[in-house]
Chain A
């Protein structure tokens, strides 16, 4: 398939009021394309693999920018850049898990313009799909990544259903661990969605990565005080430290009572179509301390229930080792 040097003909709107953006999104529906930093967008358009009629640039809308305190934690506007998040004092103090995850996204230049909303709403990186093939996710009737000769080293090891693509977002795993809430707006009003329900797998909706509907804009992400300043662990394994997406990553939040773990959230990225919670590990670590011994005891549980494809068995020991490292303390 040809790759082009230039962008295709597409219209551009640059509203400065959220209401105007919502009206445009409503009117354009499937033919509109929301634009944050554009770092996921331009590849799709340059390849002509997605062909929206118009882009709605959200960057000029003041209401979508910034990080503020709420009576239960903080709220981050969807058009806030990853750079701003990484440098924010309060986020560093209370939610360093998000800072670490955002700091591992792509490259400095991409983090300088990439928005939190765009990072969370970005589409999967399955290259068959990204090259414009008519697979299930593109509305077709086949998965090119799951045949005998398919190259599926980066694909899912759990939770697949026809489509075996994985969630590419680094901030998504951290925000599921932090029990964030997504705020979505449309011309009809506002709704809030738990981070875990925001990301959807192929069994729920095979052509979408999120539960956002056409015409809806993610306006903000709320992180509850519950996890502020808790014990965190983040690690991302990728081929290169820059640009590459997670092969497997882990975001962990633990509430410690002295030396023992109480509530915890263990979330893996790069293994399923959504951030994947290791609920069995979360149950098993309750009451344990961070030590070599408990690391050994719970690590093997990390890969329970997985079904690797031809080329991605290596992800199973990675999942286990990341849990092991998180538990060493």
Chain B
């Protein structure tokens, strides 16, 4: 057993501001022992774009909400808030997620990358961003941050994808302007291949 886990062998309850499911059972007495009752572990540290951010997060809060309304990272868009559009796509530990459908408390120990974190330290654009400009990929631009994140994650894993692989990897990002082919061209260009 992972020692880190066994040290954490108690229930990490994130208790809503109101009342805990207080009872005299083993779980809750364990809880009371490890976490004084009512002590709400709401103030947590998140690793966002390589920086540690301290933030007060309610138990049920989604990552999209935390990013936009608590951390000011409004590059992540909320389109449907239902897992049906991809505008809110972020990268968590290298994998794309819908941040509207991710609890912030579930990413406490993980590395989150948003569209604000893809450019390099000197401010130059990520090859995907530059290629999207060169290929005039966006039309209205609302879906663009999500498209960027899906493309960045794909190229990290598969630097020279085929056009069909790109199509599949980007399939979870809806574009109401229908600019799909232009985004595909952008990803092919970013991967150094002719689009």
Binding site for B on A (CB under 8 A): 5-17, 20, 23-24, 27-28, 38-39, 42-43, 45-46, 53-55, 57, 59-60, 62, 83, 106-110, 112-113, 241-243
> Bound complex: CA of A20 vs CA of B5, how far in Å?
13
* A16/B169 in contact, CB under 8 A: no
* B96/A112 in contact, CB under 8 A: yes
B18 / chain A contacts, CB cutoff of 8 Å: 9
Which of A53, A109, A112 touches B21 (beta carbons < 8 Å)?
A: A53
B74 interface residue (CB < 8 Å to A): no
A42 / chain B contacts, CB cutoff of 8 Å: 62, 82-83, 100-101
B10 / chain A contacts, CB cutoff of 8 Å: 20
> Bound complex: CA of A265 vs CA of B1, how far in Å?
40
* B65-104 vs A, Cβ < 8 Å mask (1 yes, 0 no): 1000000000000100111101001000001111011110
Q: How near does chain A come to B9, taking the closest CB pair, in angstroms?
A: 6
* A10/B59 in contact, CB under 8 A: yes
* Chain B residue nearest to A45 in the complex (CB): B60
Interface segment, one of B22-30, B131-139, B182-190: B22-30
B16 interface residue (CB < 8 Å to A): yes
B32 / chain A contacts, CB cutoff of 8 Å: none
> Bound complex: CA of A247 vs CA of B95, how far in Å?
29
* B95/A27 in contact, CB under 8 A: no
Binding site for A on B (CB under 8 A): 1-2, 5, 8-16, 18, 20-21, 23, 25-27, 58-62, 65, 78, 81-84, 86, 89, 95-98, 100-103, 105-106, 150, 168-169, 171-172
Q: Which of A8, A13, A53 has the most CB of B within 10 A?
A: A13
Can you report 25 A-B residue pairs in the complex whose CB atoms are below 8 A from each other? A5-B78, A6-B61, A7-B60, A8-B60, A10-B59, A12-B60, A13-B13, A13-B14, A14-B14, A17-B9, A20-B10, A23-B27, A27-B21, A38-B103, A42-B82, A46-B81, A55-B59, A57-B106, A62-B1, A106-B172, A109-B96, A109-B98, A110-B98, A112-B95, A112-B96
* Chain B residue nearest to A103 in the complex (CB): B168
Which of A11, A38, A43, A113 touches B13 (beta carbons < 8 Å)?
A: A11
* A11/B14 in contact, CB under 8 A: yes
* A62/B5 in contact, CB under 8 A: yes
Known: A11-B20, A109-B83. A16 touches B97 (CB 8 A): no
* A108/B83 in contact, CB under 8 A: no
B60 / chain A contacts, CB cutoff of 8 Å: 7-10, 12, 45, 55
* A14/B97 in contact, CB under 8 A: no
Q: Which of A12, A59, A109, A242 has the most CB of B within 10 A?
A: A109
B81 / chain A contacts, CB cutoff of 8 Å: 5, 46
> Bound complex: CA of A91 vs CA of B15, how far in Å?
39
Q: How near does chain A come to B168, taking the closest CB pair, in angstroms?
A: 7
Known: A15-B11, A110-B83. A7 touches B61 (CB 8 A): yes
A9 / chain B contacts, CB cutoff of 8 Å: 16, 18, 58, 60
> Bound complex: CA of A108 vs CA of B153, how far in Å?
12
Known: A12-B60, A243-B84. A28 touches B21 (CB 8 A): yes
Which of B25, B95, B101, B169 touches A38 (beta carbons < 8 Å)?
A: B101
Q: Which of B5, B23, B89, B101 has the most CB of A within 10 A?
A: B101
Q: How near does chain A come to B110, taking the closest CB pair, in angstroms?
A: 11
* B101/A59 in contact, CB under 8 A: no
